Amino acid sequence: MSVFDHPEFDQHESLHFVQDPNSGLKAIIAIHSTALGPAAGGCRRWQYVNDDDALTDALRLSRGMTYKNAVAGLKFGGGKSVILASDDAPKSAELFHAFGRQIEALGGRYITAEDVGCSVEDMRLVKEKTNYVSGLPKSGDSAGGDPSPHTALGVFLGIKSALKAKSGNDTLDGIRVAVQGVGHVGLHLCRLLHDAGATLVISDVNNDNIQLVRDELPVTVVAPTELLYSDVDVLAPCALGNILTSQTIPLIKASIIAGAANNQLATDEDGARLAEHDILYAPDYVINAGGIINVAHEYYSDGSEEIVRTDIERIPERLDAIFAEALETGKPTNAIADELARRLVSGQVHPERRSA
Ligand code: NAD
Protein backbone atom coordinates (compact mmCIF):
# COMPACT_ATOMS: atom_id res chain seq x y z
CA MET A 1 0.00 0.00 0.00
CA SER A 2 1.34 3.45 -0.85
CA VAL A 3 1.89 5.42 2.33
CA PHE A 4 0.79 8.78 0.94
CA ASP A 5 -2.46 7.24 -0.38
CA HIS A 6 -3.17 5.40 2.88
CA PRO A 7 -6.82 6.07 3.81
CA GLU A 8 -5.71 7.32 7.24
CA PHE A 9 -2.76 9.44 6.02
CA ASP A 10 -4.73 12.68 6.33
CA GLN A 11 -1.89 15.10 5.62
CA HIS A 12 0.54 13.84 8.26
CA GLU A 13 3.52 16.19 8.48
CA SER A 14 5.96 13.30 8.73
CA LEU A 15 6.23 9.59 9.36
CA HIS A 16 9.34 7.90 10.71
CA PHE A 17 10.04 4.18 10.42
CA VAL A 18 12.84 3.45 12.87
CA GLN A 19 14.77 0.35 13.83
CA ASP A 20 17.73 -0.76 15.90
CA PRO A 21 19.09 -4.24 15.15
CA ASN A 22 20.87 -4.57 18.51
CA SER A 23 17.79 -4.19 20.70
CA GLY A 24 15.29 -5.40 18.07
CA LEU A 25 13.46 -2.08 18.12
CA LYS A 26 11.05 -1.55 15.26
CA ALA A 27 8.81 1.46 15.63
CA ILE A 28 6.75 3.98 13.72
CA ILE A 29 6.63 7.58 14.89
CA ALA A 30 3.78 9.54 13.29
CA ILE A 31 3.69 13.32 13.47
CA HIS A 32 0.30 14.53 12.32
CA SER A 33 0.48 18.22 13.17
CA THR A 34 2.75 20.70 14.92
CA ALA A 35 0.45 23.66 14.21
CA LEU A 36 -0.36 24.23 17.88
CA GLY A 37 2.94 23.01 19.38
CA PRO A 38 5.24 19.99 19.38
CA ALA A 39 3.41 16.80 18.42
CA ALA A 40 2.60 14.99 21.66
CA GLY A 41 1.12 11.54 22.13
CA GLY A 42 1.98 8.32 23.88
CA CYS A 43 3.93 5.29 22.78
CA ARG A 44 1.96 2.07 22.27
CA ARG A 45 3.82 -1.25 22.37
CA TRP A 46 1.70 -3.92 20.76
CA GLN A 47 2.03 -7.19 18.88
CA TYR A 48 0.44 -6.30 15.53
CA VAL A 49 -0.70 -8.91 13.03
CA ASN A 50 1.40 -7.17 10.36
CA ASP A 51 3.20 -3.89 9.63
CA ASP A 52 0.19 -2.43 7.81
CA ASP A 53 -1.92 -2.75 10.97
CA ALA A 54 0.80 -0.98 12.95
CA LEU A 55 0.93 1.84 10.41
CA THR A 56 -2.85 2.24 10.39
CA ASP A 57 -2.90 2.34 14.19
CA ALA A 58 -0.10 4.92 14.35
CA LEU A 59 -1.80 7.19 11.78
CA ARG A 60 -5.25 7.04 13.39
CA LEU A 61 -3.90 7.53 16.90
CA SER A 62 -1.68 10.39 15.80
CA ARG A 63 -4.48 12.37 14.15
CA GLY A 64 -6.61 11.69 17.22
CA MET A 65 -3.90 13.31 19.35
CA THR A 66 -3.98 16.46 17.21
CA TYR A 67 -7.70 16.71 17.82
CA LYS A 68 -7.47 15.75 21.49
CA ASN A 69 -4.77 18.30 22.30
CA ALA A 70 -6.53 21.05 20.37
CA VAL A 71 -9.91 20.53 22.03
CA ALA A 72 -8.28 20.30 25.48
CA GLY A 73 -6.62 23.69 24.80
CA LEU A 74 -3.08 22.33 25.19
CA LYS A 75 0.06 23.82 23.62
CA PHE A 76 0.65 20.57 21.78
CA GLY A 77 0.21 19.30 18.25
CA GLY A 78 -0.54 15.64 17.63
CA GLY A 79 1.65 12.60 17.19
CA LYS A 80 1.93 9.02 18.33
CA SER A 81 4.43 6.19 18.23
CA VAL A 82 3.96 2.46 18.06
CA ILE A 83 6.62 -0.08 18.95
CA LEU A 84 6.07 -3.38 17.13
CA ALA A 85 6.29 -5.95 19.92
CA SER A 86 7.61 -9.42 19.12
CA ASP A 87 9.19 -12.34 20.92
CA ASP A 88 12.49 -11.36 19.25
CA ALA A 89 12.32 -7.88 20.76
CA PRO A 90 11.27 -8.15 24.40
CA LYS A 91 11.07 -5.07 26.60
CA SER A 92 14.59 -4.08 27.65
CA ALA A 93 16.59 -1.03 28.67
CA GLU A 94 18.37 -1.24 25.29
CA LEU A 95 15.06 -1.14 23.42
CA PHE A 96 13.78 1.97 25.21
CA HIS A 97 17.23 3.61 24.95
CA ALA A 98 17.19 3.03 21.19
CA PHE A 99 13.66 4.45 21.05
CA GLY A 100 14.79 7.47 23.10
CA ARG A 101 17.67 8.14 20.70
CA GLN A 102 15.24 8.16 17.77
CA ILE A 103 13.00 10.66 19.53
CA GLU A 104 15.99 12.82 20.36
CA ALA A 105 16.93 12.81 16.66
CA LEU A 106 13.57 14.46 15.87
CA GLY A 107 14.76 17.51 17.80
CA GLY A 108 11.62 18.09 19.84
CA ARG A 109 9.03 17.78 17.06
CA TYR A 110 7.58 14.77 18.92
CA ILE A 111 7.11 14.25 22.67
CA THR A 112 6.32 10.78 23.91
CA ALA A 113 4.70 9.32 27.04
CA GLU A 114 3.20 5.97 28.00
CA ASP A 115 0.24 4.32 26.27
CA VAL A 116 -0.96 0.71 26.11
CA GLY A 117 1.96 -1.65 26.72
CA CYS A 118 4.31 0.97 28.20
CA SER A 119 4.91 2.07 31.78
CA VAL A 120 6.35 4.92 33.81
CA GLU A 121 9.52 2.84 34.20
CA ASP A 122 9.79 2.50 30.39
CA MET A 123 9.54 6.29 30.04
CA ARG A 124 12.25 6.70 32.68
CA LEU A 125 14.52 4.64 30.41
CA VAL A 126 13.57 6.78 27.39
CA LYS A 127 14.43 9.87 29.45
CA GLU A 128 18.02 8.61 29.77
CA LYS A 129 18.40 9.41 26.04
CA THR A 130 16.08 12.37 25.48
CA ASN A 131 14.24 15.15 27.29
CA TYR A 132 11.32 14.92 24.85
CA VAL A 133 9.40 12.56 27.10
CA SER A 134 6.76 12.91 29.81
CA GLY A 135 4.83 10.58 32.12
CA LEU A 136 7.95 10.16 34.26
CA PRO A 137 8.13 9.20 37.93
CA LYS A 138 6.37 11.89 39.93
CA SER A 139 8.15 14.14 42.38
CA GLY A 140 6.32 16.01 45.16
CA ASP A 141 3.12 17.83 44.34
CA SER A 142 4.00 18.69 40.75
CA ALA A 143 2.22 17.06 37.79
CA GLY A 144 3.70 13.81 36.56
CA GLY A 145 3.69 10.06 36.89
CA ASP A 146 1.25 7.56 35.43
CA PRO A 147 -1.38 9.51 33.44
CA SER A 148 -4.03 6.80 33.75
CA PRO A 149 -5.66 7.90 37.05
CA HIS A 150 -6.13 11.34 35.47
CA THR A 151 -7.64 9.80 32.35
CA ALA A 152 -9.98 7.78 34.55
CA LEU A 153 -11.07 10.90 36.43
CA GLY A 154 -11.92 12.69 33.17
CA VAL A 155 -13.88 9.66 31.95
CA PHE A 156 -15.74 9.41 35.25
CA LEU A 157 -16.76 13.09 35.07
CA GLY A 158 -17.64 12.63 31.39
CA ILE A 159 -19.95 9.71 32.20
CA LYS A 160 -21.78 11.98 34.65
CA SER A 161 -22.08 14.62 31.95
CA ALA A 162 -23.54 12.08 29.52
CA LEU A 163 -26.01 10.84 32.15
CA LYS A 164 -27.15 14.42 32.74
CA ALA A 165 -27.58 15.03 29.02
CA LYS A 166 -29.51 11.79 28.57
CA SER A 167 -31.73 11.80 31.66
CA GLY A 168 -31.32 15.19 33.34
CA ASN A 169 -29.68 13.55 36.36
CA ASP A 170 -25.98 12.85 36.80
CA THR A 171 -26.20 10.49 39.77
CA LEU A 172 -24.42 7.16 39.40
CA ASP A 173 -26.24 5.50 42.25
CA GLY A 174 -27.72 2.29 40.86
CA ILE A 175 -26.46 2.97 37.33
CA ARG A 176 -25.10 -0.14 35.58
CA VAL A 177 -21.79 0.38 33.81
CA ALA A 178 -19.93 -2.13 31.64
CA VAL A 179 -16.18 -1.52 31.55
CA GLN A 180 -14.33 -3.17 28.66
CA GLY A 181 -10.68 -3.60 29.69
CA VAL A 182 -9.57 -3.22 33.29
CA GLY A 183 -5.96 -2.24 32.75
CA HIS A 184 -4.47 1.03 33.97
CA VAL A 185 -7.43 3.30 33.20
CA GLY A 186 -10.18 0.70 33.59
CA LEU A 187 -9.13 -0.24 37.12
CA HIS A 188 -9.09 3.38 38.32
CA LEU A 189 -12.40 4.03 36.60
CA CYS A 190 -14.00 1.01 38.30
CA ARG A 191 -12.94 2.38 41.69
CA LEU A 192 -14.45 5.81 40.99
CA LEU A 193 -17.68 4.33 39.64
CA HIS A 194 -18.05 1.92 42.54
CA ASP A 195 -17.46 4.69 45.11
CA ALA A 196 -20.22 6.70 43.39
CA GLY A 197 -22.70 3.82 43.71
CA ALA A 198 -22.57 2.28 40.22
CA THR A 199 -22.97 -1.45 39.58
CA LEU A 200 -20.11 -2.85 37.52
CA VAL A 201 -19.86 -5.41 34.74
CA ILE A 202 -16.31 -5.96 33.48
CA SER A 203 -14.32 -8.00 30.99
CA ASP A 204 -10.68 -8.35 30.06
CA VAL A 205 -8.61 -10.75 28.02
CA ASN A 206 -6.04 -10.74 30.82
CA ASN A 207 -7.22 -12.80 33.82
CA ASP A 208 -4.65 -11.25 36.19
CA ASN A 209 -6.17 -7.82 35.57
CA ILE A 210 -9.67 -9.18 36.20
CA GLN A 211 -8.51 -10.74 39.44
CA LEU A 212 -7.06 -7.42 40.66
CA VAL A 213 -10.49 -5.80 40.31
CA ARG A 214 -12.31 -8.80 41.75
CA ASP A 215 -10.09 -8.74 44.84
CA GLU A 216 -11.12 -5.17 45.52
CA LEU A 217 -14.62 -4.55 44.19
CA PRO A 218 -17.94 -6.35 43.71
CA VAL A 219 -18.15 -6.91 39.95
CA THR A 220 -19.84 -9.21 37.48
CA VAL A 221 -17.33 -10.64 35.04
CA VAL A 222 -18.45 -11.50 31.52
CA ALA A 223 -16.61 -12.90 28.50
CA PRO A 224 -14.87 -10.33 26.27
CA THR A 225 -17.18 -11.34 23.41
CA GLU A 226 -20.28 -10.46 25.49
CA LEU A 227 -19.27 -7.27 27.22
CA LEU A 228 -20.33 -4.84 24.48
CA TYR A 229 -23.86 -6.26 24.51
CA SER A 230 -24.38 -6.23 28.30
CA ASP A 231 -27.72 -5.04 29.61
CA VAL A 232 -26.36 -1.84 31.15
CA ASP A 233 -26.96 1.91 31.09
CA VAL A 234 -23.42 2.92 30.19
CA LEU A 235 -20.74 1.19 28.14
CA ALA A 236 -17.21 2.38 28.99
CA PRO A 237 -14.69 1.05 26.44
CA CYS A 238 -11.24 1.08 28.08
CA ALA A 239 -9.37 -1.50 25.97
CA LEU A 240 -8.53 -1.01 22.29
CA GLY A 241 -10.17 0.79 19.36
CA ASN A 242 -12.38 -0.10 16.37
CA ILE A 243 -15.06 -1.71 18.50
CA LEU A 244 -18.05 0.35 17.37
CA THR A 245 -18.94 -0.96 13.94
CA SER A 246 -21.95 -1.58 11.70
CA GLN A 247 -22.04 -5.11 13.13
CA THR A 248 -21.71 -4.30 16.85
CA ILE A 249 -23.78 -1.10 17.16
CA PRO A 250 -27.23 -2.63 16.48
CA LEU A 251 -26.61 -5.14 19.30
CA ILE A 252 -25.56 -2.64 21.97
CA LYS A 253 -28.11 -2.15 24.78
CA ALA A 254 -26.40 0.71 26.63
CA SER A 255 -27.82 4.15 25.87
CA ILE A 256 -24.51 5.90 26.60
CA ILE A 257 -21.00 5.09 25.38
CA ALA A 258 -18.33 6.94 27.31
CA GLY A 259 -14.89 5.47 27.85
CA ALA A 260 -11.14 5.92 27.59
CA ALA A 261 -10.19 3.83 24.56
CA ASN A 262 -8.83 5.77 21.60
CA ASN A 263 -10.50 5.38 18.18
CA GLN A 264 -13.58 3.59 19.45
CA LEU A 265 -15.45 4.25 16.18
CA ALA A 266 -14.32 2.02 13.32
CA THR A 267 -15.37 4.75 10.85
CA ASP A 268 -16.82 8.26 11.12
CA GLU A 269 -20.15 6.89 9.84
CA ASP A 270 -20.40 4.75 12.96
CA GLY A 271 -20.89 7.97 14.94
CA ALA A 272 -24.02 8.67 12.88
CA ARG A 273 -25.07 5.04 13.33
CA LEU A 274 -24.90 5.43 17.12
CA ALA A 275 -27.04 8.56 16.94
CA GLU A 276 -29.60 6.67 14.79
CA HIS A 277 -29.78 4.04 17.53
CA ASP A 278 -30.32 6.80 20.10
CA ILE A 279 -27.02 6.00 21.80
CA LEU A 280 -25.24 9.07 23.19
CA TYR A 281 -21.55 8.85 22.30
CA ALA A 282 -18.95 10.87 24.23
CA PRO A 283 -16.24 11.51 21.61
CA ASP A 284 -13.24 9.49 22.78
CA TYR A 285 -10.58 12.15 22.46
CA VAL A 286 -12.67 14.69 24.34
CA ILE A 287 -13.53 12.49 27.32
CA ASN A 288 -10.12 10.78 27.60
CA ALA A 289 -7.96 13.93 27.68
CA GLY A 290 -7.21 13.76 31.44
CA GLY A 291 -3.94 11.89 30.94
CA ILE A 292 -2.54 14.25 28.32
CA ILE A 293 -3.59 17.24 30.45
CA ASN A 294 -1.39 15.81 33.21
CA VAL A 295 1.40 15.10 30.69
CA ALA A 296 1.24 18.70 29.41
CA HIS A 297 1.54 20.22 32.88
CA GLU A 298 4.41 17.86 33.64
CA TYR A 299 6.21 18.63 30.37
CA TYR A 300 5.88 22.40 30.70
CA SER A 301 6.47 22.27 34.51
CA ASP A 302 3.54 24.60 35.03
CA GLY A 303 1.11 22.76 37.26
CA SER A 304 0.47 21.13 40.58
CA GLU A 305 -1.88 18.19 41.19
CA GLU A 306 -4.59 20.73 42.00
CA ILE A 307 -4.15 22.63 38.73
CA VAL A 308 -4.27 19.36 36.80
CA ARG A 309 -7.49 18.41 38.55
CA THR A 310 -9.06 21.79 37.86
CA ASP A 311 -8.21 21.41 34.16
CA ILE A 312 -9.62 17.90 34.05
CA GLU A 313 -12.81 19.19 35.65
CA ARG A 314 -13.30 21.27 32.48
CA ILE A 315 -13.79 18.15 30.35
CA PRO A 316 -17.52 17.97 31.24
CA GLU A 317 -18.04 21.59 30.03
CA ARG A 318 -16.74 20.56 26.60
CA LEU A 319 -18.89 17.47 26.51
CA ASP A 320 -21.96 19.41 27.68
CA ALA A 321 -21.51 21.82 24.77
CA ILE A 322 -21.09 18.97 22.27
CA PHE A 323 -24.15 17.13 23.60
CA ALA A 324 -26.22 20.34 23.51
CA GLU A 325 -25.19 21.04 19.90
CA ALA A 326 -26.02 17.45 18.92
CA LEU A 327 -29.47 17.81 20.46
CA GLU A 328 -30.05 21.12 18.73
CA THR A 329 -28.72 20.21 15.27
CA GLY A 330 -29.15 16.45 15.11
CA LYS A 331 -25.46 16.11 14.13
CA PRO A 332 -23.51 13.15 15.51
CA THR A 333 -21.32 14.07 18.47
CA ASN A 334 -18.13 12.82 16.78
CA ALA A 335 -18.76 15.11 13.79
CA ILE A 336 -19.27 18.11 16.09
CA ALA A 337 -16.02 17.38 17.95
CA ASP A 338 -14.06 16.82 14.72
CA GLU A 339 -15.29 20.11 13.24
CA LEU A 340 -14.32 21.98 16.38
CA ALA A 341 -10.87 20.34 16.45
CA ARG A 342 -10.21 21.20 12.81
CA ARG A 343 -11.24 24.83 13.35
CA LEU A 344 -8.93 25.07 16.37
CA VAL A 345 -5.97 23.56 14.49
CA SER A 346 -6.45 25.82 11.49
CA GLY A 347 -6.67 28.86 13.76
CA GLN A 348 -10.25 29.69 12.69
CA VAL A 349 -11.33 29.79 16.29
CA HIS A 350 -9.33 30.82 19.34
CA PRO A 351 -9.16 28.08 22.02
CA GLU A 352 -10.88 30.34 24.57
CA ARG A 353 -13.68 31.45 22.23
CA ARG A 354 -14.98 28.18 20.98
CA SER A 355 -18.61 27.24 21.25
CA ALA A 356 -18.03 23.64 22.35
P1 NAD B 1 -3.81 -0.99 29.46
O2 NAD B 1 -2.99 -1.75 28.48
O3 NAD B 1 -3.28 -0.79 30.83
O4 NAD B 1 -5.27 -1.66 29.60
C5 NAD B 1 -5.99 -2.15 28.52
C6 NAD B 1 -6.69 -3.40 29.02
O7 NAD B 1 -7.58 -3.85 28.00
C8 NAD B 1 -5.73 -4.56 29.32
O9 NAD B 1 -6.00 -5.08 30.60
C10 NAD B 1 -6.01 -5.57 28.21
O11 NAD B 1 -5.81 -6.90 28.61
C12 NAD B 1 -7.48 -5.27 27.95
N13 NAD B 1 -7.98 -5.73 26.67
C14 NAD B 1 -7.39 -5.77 25.46
N15 NAD B 1 -8.22 -6.25 24.54
C16 NAD B 1 -9.40 -6.51 25.17
C17 NAD B 1 -10.67 -7.01 24.76
N18 NAD B 1 -10.91 -7.34 23.49
N19 NAD B 1 -11.64 -7.13 25.68
C20 NAD B 1 -11.43 -6.81 26.97
N21 NAD B 1 -10.24 -6.34 27.42
C22 NAD B 1 -9.25 -6.19 26.53
O23 NAD B 1 -4.14 0.40 28.74
P24 NAD B 1 -4.69 1.73 29.42
O25 NAD B 1 -3.56 2.65 29.66
O26 NAD B 1 -5.62 1.40 30.52
O27 NAD B 1 -5.51 2.36 28.20
C28 NAD B 1 -6.77 1.82 27.83
C29 NAD B 1 -7.29 2.57 26.60
O30 NAD B 1 -7.43 3.95 26.90
C31 NAD B 1 -6.38 2.50 25.37
O32 NAD B 1 -7.15 2.52 24.20
C33 NAD B 1 -5.58 3.78 25.47
O34 NAD B 1 -5.07 4.21 24.22
C35 NAD B 1 -6.64 4.72 26.00
N36 NAD B 1 -6.10 5.86 26.72
C37 NAD B 1 -5.30 5.66 27.79
C38 NAD B 1 -4.81 6.77 28.48
C39 NAD B 1 -3.94 6.60 29.70
O40 NAD B 1 -3.78 7.57 30.44
N41 NAD B 1 -3.40 5.43 29.96
C42 NAD B 1 -5.13 8.07 28.05
C43 NAD B 1 -5.98 8.22 26.96
C44 NAD B 1 -6.46 7.12 26.29
Residue-wise pLDDT tens digits, 290-316: 999 999 999 999 989 999 999 999 999
Q: Which atom of ligand 1 approaches the CA of 44 most closely?
A: 34
Residue 140's pLDDT band (cuts 50, 70, 90) = confident
Mutate to test the pocket of ligand 1, among 49, 57, 82, 116 (most ligand atoms within 8 A of CB): 116
pLDDT (tens digit, 9 = 90+) per residue, 178-199? 999 999 999 999 999 999 999 9
SS3 304: strand
pLDDT at 131: 98
By annotation, the residues acting in catalysis are: 80
pLDDT (tens digit, 9 = 90+) per residue, 212-244? 999 999 999 999 999 999 999 999 999 999 999
Q: How far apart are CA 287 and CA 262, in angstroms?
A: 10
The verdict on the CB of residue 224 being under 6 Å from ligand 1 is: yes
Q: Which atom of ligand 1 approaches the CA of 148 most closely?
A: 40
Mutate to test the pocket of ligand 1, among 134, 148, 191, 287 (most ligand atoms within 8 A of CB): 148
Question: What average pLDDT does the segment 276-283 reach?
Answer: 98
pLDDT at 138: 87
Statement: residue 350 has pLDDT above 70? no
Separation of 184 CA from ligand 1 center, angstroms? 7
Q: Do 229 and 206 touch, CB atoms closer than 8 A?
A: no
pLDDT (tens digit, 9 = 90+) per residue, 63-86? 999 999 999 999 999 999 999 999
The verdict on the CB of residue 261 being under 6 Å from ligand 1 is: yes
Separation of 190 CA from ligand 1 center, angstroms? 13
The verdict on the CB of residue 57 being under 6 Å from ligand 1 is: no
> E strands within the chain?
14-20, 25-33, 39-40, 43-46, 77-84, 110-111, 176-180, 199-203, 219-221, 234-237, 256-257, 280-281
Statement: residue 270 has pLDDT above 70? yes
Give Cα separations from 57 to 13, 81, 106 (angstroms).
16, 9, 21
Residue 351's pLDDT band (cuts 50, 70, 90) = low
Statement: residue 336 has pLDDT above 80? yes
Nearest residue CA, atom 40 of ligand 1?
148
SS3 32: strand
Nearest residue CA, atom 14 of ligand 1?
239
Q: Do 56 and 240 touch, CB atoms closer than 8 A?
A: no
Q: Which atom of ligand 1 approaches the CA of 209 most closely?
A: 9
The phi, psi pair for 319, rounded to 5°, reads -65, -40
Statement: residue 355 has pLDDT above 60? no
Return the CATH number of 148-288+317-344, one of 3.40.50.720, 3.30.420.10, 3.90.180.10, 3.40.470.10. Answer: 3.40.50.720
Q: Where are the domains of the chain?
A: 3-65+75-127, 148-288+317-344
Q: In the chain, what percentage of residues exceed pLDDT 70? A: 98
| Helix or strand (DSSP H, E) at 241 | none
Separation of 181 CA from ligand 1 center, angstroms? 6
Q: How far apart are CA 182 and CA 38, in angstroms?
A: 31
Question: What average pLDDT does the segment 121-148 reach?
Answer: 93
Separation of 226 CA from ligand 1 center, angstroms? 17
List the one residue out of 205, 247, 211 whose CA is nearest residue 224: 205
Question: What average pLDDT does the segment 90-118 reach?
Answer: 97
Q: How far is CA 189 from the centre of its chain?
A: 14
Q: How far apart are CA 146 and CA 207, in angstroms?
A: 22
pLDDT (tens digit, 9 = 90+) per residue, 146-170? 999 999 999 999 999 999 999 999 9
pTM tops 0.85: yes
Statement: residue 328 has pLDDT above 50? yes
pLDDT at 42: 96
The verdict on the CB of residue 186 being under 6 Å from ligand 1 is: yes
The verdict on the CB of residue 115 being under 6 Å from ligand 1 is: yes
pLDDT (tens digit, 9 = 90+) per residue, 9-31? 999 999 999 999 999 999 999 99
Q: How far apart are CA 295 and CA 311, in angstroms?
A: 12
Q: Which distant-in-sequence residues (6+ apart) come within 8 Å of 14 by Cβ? A: 31, 109
**Secondary structure letter of residue 60 according to DSSP:** H
Q: Does 148-288+317-344 match 3-65+75-127 at the fold level?
A: yes
| Fold assignment, 3-65+75-127 | Rossmann fold (3.40.50)
The verdict on the CB of residue 62 being under 6 Å from ligand 1 is: no
pLDDT at 1: 60
Q: In the chain, what percentage of residues exceed pLDDT 90? A: 94
